[in-house]
């Protein structure tokens, strides 16, 4: 058994208990009600970093939630890995669908159930414990800088300015992130791309107050009816998005790339069964894997208006609202897409209503190289601990800061995530398998070792 495995075996229960303590802190960045808890999570990580003997540990304030930073510079001449992760989590609503409370982590059947278990506290914690193992079993082979933020789930809007103001402090050779998932433990994979995001909120206003739906219904525009129709028109019968210019910058994959994608292990029947759906649905001419990675999307995330309380109230609502996300692919640009959306959406409105479009956060799509030393090192590390060559796979989610690591710091990113698609991130009963947690901790030290050796 390797020294890494031996140390891990001896300390695995403590590693888990420490993570459970972090998971107990409801660090929901989207909801100001949890403000103190978000700061508490930052403090927790700071103490852990100090306990690990990292240097220059500090909580770096921003206009929003802070960034927790720590480093170990063993030799200026050796490569430097910048590790990024986030300690904030998505809201846990709806609470009633959780089998155990989201911030009272439960370990059941070898899985940790809690909000943030996989996204991203569990995966951040793997990096801290991988560092501990390296430190205790023979040293860190290169330099490490850790940067854990608290606003990823709300768009990382203060992190760009932080990068710009700290280019020296953050100087590194590569960024390492564990905030994605693998195809499965049997089919380990490395994420080689992320989608970008445009997020908007729309408001449709009809009459100036809610009206009696019998007295006025039929003669005055109903904003919920109108909004539904406007939203429905955003896709055509082939599930193409109808916003003019939306696809203009989309990079199409060539036949070889599409063939490689088609070869990734994927079982449509399992997929449907897992989601309890009779069929999938999406853009004509593309597979499910393509629809969730290399094609852009438009989805309503929430929609409301009028009476939604108990029983029936006969009312013609004054207003209707929706939150809409668009996932973007290379080379779409979030500001351009948001502007195209706004223009088109406003043009769709009949004269009987007023429309307001409010842009929220955005982020740019990225593709990461597979021919770099860092990718080869990550692949070799995974081969070592999983016994299989990882499959490069484009991811469908977004991590807005990755594009900025490249544009502001000139750094490429390795997305070496250890989640599983069934981890229910952002959903009730989010989980993280202990197997994945420990496998991640075991794999990360090999990345450092191979990356340092292969950089020579």
By annotation, the residues acting in catalysis are 88, 152
Place of tokens 């990823």: 152
The interface partner of residue 443, options being ligand BES, Mn ion, none and the CB cut-off 5 to 8 Å by kind, is none
Q: Between 206 and 397, whose beta carbon lies closer to ligand BES?
A: 397
Q: Which residue is nearest to ligand BES (CB)?
A: 397
The residues binding ligand BES (CB under 6 A) are: 119-120, 152-153, 155, 179-181, 194, 197, 361, 363, 395, 397-400, 425
Phi, psi of 436 (to 5 degrees): -65, -40
The interface partner of residue 363, options being Mn ion, ligand BES, none and the CB cut-off 5 to 8 Å by kind, is ligand BES
Distance CA 48, CA 67 (A): 14
Q: Are 151 and 92 a contacting pair, CB within 8 Å?
A: no
**Among 119, 420, 430, 442, which residue interacts with Mn ion (rule: CB under 5 A)?**
119
| β-pairing verdict for 106-108 and 111-113 | antiparallel
Neighbour tally for 5: CB within 10 Å = 14
The interface partner of residue 420, options being ligand BES, Mn ion, none and the CB cut-off 5 to 8 Å by kind, is none
Burial of 14: CB neighbours in 10 Å, binned 0-12, 13-18, 19+: exposed
Q: Between 25 and 134, whose beta carbon lies closer to ligand BES?
A: 25
Q: Between 161 and 214, whose beta carbon lies closer to ligand BES?
A: 161
| Closest distance of CB 299 from ligand BES, Å | 11
| Closest distance of CB 87 from ligand BES, Å | 11
Number of residues in the chain = 456
Q: Between 119 and 132, whose beta carbon lies closer to Mn ion?
A: 119
| Closest distance of CB 197 from ligand BES, Å | 5
| Closest distance of CB 336 from ligand BES, Å | 17
The interface partner of residue 54, options being ligand BES, Mn ion, none and the CB cut-off 5 to 8 Å by kind, is none
Q: Are 22 and 32 a contacting pair, CB within 8 Å?
A: no
C-alpha distances out from residue 274 to 117, 270, 279, 422, 424, Å:
20, 6, 12, 8, 11
Q: Count Cα neighbours of 48 within 13 Å in the Cβ-side half-sphere.
A: 27
120 near Mn ion, rule: CB under 5 A:
yes
Q: Are 143 and 71 a contacting pair, CB within 8 Å?
A: yes
Q: C-alpha angle 362/175/128, rounded to 5°?
A: 105
| Closest distance of CB 236 from ligand BES, Å | 25
The interface partner of residue 180, options being ligand BES, Mn ion, none and the CB cut-off 5 to 8 Å by kind, is ligand BES
Q: Which of 434, 445, 436, 442 is nearest to 417 (CA)?
A: 436
423 near Mn ion, rule: CB under 5 A:
no
Q: Between 45 and 140, whose beta carbon lies closer to ligand BES?
A: 45
Q: Which of residues 35-94 bind Mn ion (CB under 5 A)?
A: none
Interacting residue ranges for Mn ion, rule: CB under 5 A: 119-120, 179
């Amino acid at each position: 058994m390797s020294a890494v495995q031996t140390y891990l075996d001896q300390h695995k229960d403590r590693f888990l208990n420490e993570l459970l303590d972090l998971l107990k802190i409801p660090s929901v960045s989207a909801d100001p009600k949890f403000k103190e808890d978000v700061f508490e999570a930052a403090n927790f990580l700071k103490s852990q970093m100090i306990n690990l003997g990292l240097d220059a540990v500090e909580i770096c304030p921003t206009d929003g939630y802070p960034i927790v930073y720590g480093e170990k510079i063993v030799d200026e001449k050796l490569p430097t890995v910048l590790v990024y992760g986030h300690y904030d989590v998505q809201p846990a609503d709806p609470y009633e669908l959780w089998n155990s409370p989201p911030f009272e982590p439960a370990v059941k059947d070898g899985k940790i159930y809690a909000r943030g278990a996989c996204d991203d506290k569990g995966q951040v914690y793997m990096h801290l414990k991988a560092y501990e193992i390296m430190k205790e079993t023979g040293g860190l082979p290169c330099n490490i800088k850790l940067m854990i933020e608290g606003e990823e789930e709300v768009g990382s809007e203060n992190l760009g300015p932080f990068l710009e103001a700290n280019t020296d402090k953050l100087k590194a050779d590569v960024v390492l992130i564990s905030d994605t998932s693998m195809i499965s433990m049997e089919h380990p994979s490395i994420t080689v791309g992320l989608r970008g995001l445009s997020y908007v909120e729309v408001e449709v206003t009809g009459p100036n107050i809610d009206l009696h739906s019998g007295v006025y219904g039929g003669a005055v525009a109903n904003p919920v009816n109108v909004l539904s129709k406007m939203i429905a028109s955003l896709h055509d019968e082939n599930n193409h998005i109808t916003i003019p210019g939306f696809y203009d910058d989309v990079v199409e994959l060539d036949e070889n790339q599409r063939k490689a994608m088609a070869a990734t292990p994927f079982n449509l029947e399992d997929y449907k069964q897992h989601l309890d759906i009779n069929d999938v649905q999406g853009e004509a001419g593309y597979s499910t894997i393509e629809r969730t990675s290399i094609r852009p999307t438009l989805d309503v995330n929430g929609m409301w208006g009028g009476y939604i309380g108990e029983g029936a109230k006969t009312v013609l609502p004054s207003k209707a609202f929706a939150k809409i996300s668009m996932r973007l692919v290379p080379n779409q640009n979030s500001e351009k897409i948001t502007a195209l959306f706004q223009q088109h959406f406003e043009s769709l409105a009949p004269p009987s209503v007023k429309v307001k479009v409010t842009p929220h956060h955005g982020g740019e799509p990225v593709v990461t190289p597979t021919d770099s030393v860092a990718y080869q090192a990550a692949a070799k590390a995974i081969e070592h601990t999983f016994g299989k060559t990882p499959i490069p796979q484009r991811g469908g989610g977004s991590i807005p800061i990755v594009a900025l690591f490249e544009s502001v710091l000139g750094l490429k990113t390795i997305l070496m995530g250890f989640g599983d698609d069934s981890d229910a991130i952002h959903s009730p009963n989010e989980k993280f398998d202990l197997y994945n947690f420990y496998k991640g901790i075991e794999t990360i030290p090999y990345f450092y070792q191979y990356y340092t050796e292969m950089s020579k």
